[in-house]
Every structure is written in structure tokens, then in C-alpha cells.
């Protein structure tokens, strides 16, 4: 039996589907451009990195060491800000507001000119993603930002520059998520609930990765894709890809 559209579960799925349809219709050109930029980076010998803090890190992690994904995508982690595993969990949120942290992390990371960094931040207002994007560009890397552009008009920046993530990117992908990231309300529940940002952001980025893989194939380049280790031959396939591209894969070291 399917979920009825009148139930909370059904309403959430309908809301998520609606957001994905909006992204497909409104962000198609940007998704294509982002995939092409990633393919350009791979062909030119550049390295790929993804960053997100807190729950935004979930979409970044979904790109790394992923069956069906590009082997070259590396997680750019900020200690204490990657997820809710830090104790207390509120520390991660506090670190997102610290000026200078992103610069210190980038300056000690492998990222260099010619690389590409995906920065994911729903609000795009905190110091960490803003500075991560701006400093990466100063270092000569390309930046793709995934954010909800609505925050830039409905909230204020928490970075000393007064800017948002969207202001420091070569390409911006708008997730269309409403400020507050809660899709449902009920008279019997005092707060809005049911966040959809992870579902939508992950779908956007997998669409970008699919575009990149197809673009590489169109150029006559075999996309460096990983296969599931749970299918026959998958581990041998992955060993070959990792040997071939080992100098651009940092999660093996």
C-alpha cells in the first residue's frame, strides 16, 4: 500500500519530489555547467574535493569513495565540523562561525591551483563555507557552491565580509530549500518539521557527477568510476582505478 498524500509521510515525499522537479527545471543549465567543469578538471590533471559542515557534510561524504561515483572526489574535512559525531554536537555549529578556520585548513590541505572544490552549505551565511570558497579561489581552485539562495535575501551573513557562499563561487547550484529547512507544519505540532535539504542536495550533486561522467566519455576519456565491492569483480576494478589515479586520491593515505 502506498503512502496517502494526506499523511505526513506522503506529504513529505510530495514536497521532496516537488523540490527535485524545481531543481531539474530551474537548475538544469547550472548542473550541466558544473558537470562539464568537473570533467575539465579531470582531463587537465586537477584534483577534486568536497566540503560541507554539519549535516551539509552528508552530501559531501556521499560523493567520496562511492560505488558508481568518481574515484577522484576527496573529502576536505575540518576537524570538529564534519558531522554530529563531535561532542558536544553544538561545537560543530560554533566552529562554522569562526573566522580564519577555513584558511588554516586550506593552507595545510593538498588543494592547489587547478583543482576544484565543491562547497556545500544550506544557508551559505556562516564564516566557514564563505571563507572556504573565497580562499580556495585565491589559491587558484575553481569552486562550485551548493546552497539555498533564499538565505541571502532573508538572513544576514555571519562572515566579517557580509557576504554569502554564493558570492565566492564560479558556479552556484540553488537547492531551492526554504529558510529553516522544514517542509511540513501541523496545527498539533508547534514547530515546522521534516527537513529535505539532504535529499535534494545529494540528488543535485549526483546529477552533476552523472553529467561529468558522461562528458568524460564524450571526450573519449574513460570516467574513473568506482564499482561496488559487493559485486563480483568490483574490488579488482577499484584496485585498477586507484592505481591509475592514486596521485589524485587522498582518502587512501
Cell of 144: 562550485
E strands, 76-202, where?
116-120, 142-147, 171-174, 184-186, 189-193
pLDDT tens by residue, 36-88: 999 999 999 999 999 999 999 999 999 999 999 999 999 999 999 988 888 89
Structural element, H or E, at residue 50: strand 48-52
Cell of 167: 558570492
Cα torsion 138, 142, 144, 150 to 10°: value is 40
Pairing of the two strands 48-52 and 73-75: parallel
Q: What is the pTM of this model?
A: 0.96
Q: Kindly state the average pLDDT of the residues 196-212.
A: 98
The neighbour count for residue 158, using CB atoms within 10 Å, is 16
E strands, 116-246, where?
116-120, 142-147, 171-174, 184-186, 189-193
Q: What distance in Å separates the CA atoms of residue 159 and residue 49, rounded to the nearest whole number? A: 23
Average pLDDT over the chain, rounded to an integer? 96
pLDDT tens by residue, 104-153: 999 999 999 999 999 999 999 999 999 999 999 999 999 999 999 999 99
Residue 1 has pLDDT above 70, yes or no: no
Q: What is the pLDDT of residue 2?
A: 74
Q: What is the pLDDT of residue 251?
A: 96
Amino acid at each position: 500500500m502506498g503512502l496517502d498524500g494526506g499523511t505526513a509521510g506522503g506529504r513529505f515525499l510530495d514536497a521532496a519530489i516537488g523540490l527535485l522537479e524545481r531543481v531539474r527545471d530551474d537548475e538544469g543549465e547550472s548542473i550541466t555547467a558544473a558537470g562539464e567543469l568537473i570533467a575539465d578538471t579531470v582531463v587537465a590533471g586537477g584534483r577534486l574535493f568536497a566540503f560541507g559542515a554539519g549535516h551539509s557534510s552528508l552530501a559531501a561524504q556521499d560523493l567520496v569513495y562511492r560505488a558508481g561515483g568518481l574515484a577522484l572526489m576527496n573529502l576536505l574535512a575540518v576537524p570538529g565540523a564534519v558531522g554530529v559525531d563531535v561532542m558536544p554536537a553544538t561545537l560543530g555549529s560554533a566552529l562554522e562561525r569562526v573566522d580564519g578556520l577555513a584558511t588554516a585548513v586550506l593552507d595545510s590541505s593538498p588543494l592547489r591551483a587547478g583543482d576544484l572544490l565543491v562547497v556545500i552549505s544550506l544557508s551559505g551565511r556562516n564564516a566557514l563555507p564563505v571563507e572556504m570558497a573565497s580562499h580556495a579561489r585565491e589559491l587558484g581552485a575553481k569552486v562550485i557552491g551548493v546552497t539555498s539562495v533564499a538565505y541571502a535575501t532573508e538572513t544576514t551573513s555571519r562572515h566579517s565580509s557580509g557576504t554569502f557562499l554564493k558570492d565566492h563561487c564560479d558556479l552556484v547550484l540553488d537547492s531551492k530549500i526554504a529558510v529553516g529547512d522544514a517542509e511540513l507544519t501541523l496545527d498539533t505540532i508547534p514547530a515546522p518539521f521534516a527537513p529535505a535539504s539532504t535529499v535534494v542536495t545529494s540528488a543535485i550533486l549526483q546529477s552533476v557527477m552523472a553529467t561529468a561522467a558522461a562528458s568524460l566519455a564524450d571526450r573519449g576519456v574513460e570516467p574513473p568510476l568506482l564499482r561496488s565491492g559487493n559485486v563480483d569483480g568490483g574490488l579488482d576494478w577499484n584496485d585498477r582505478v586507484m592505481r591509475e589515479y592514486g596521485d589524485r586520491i587522498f582518502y587512501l593515505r
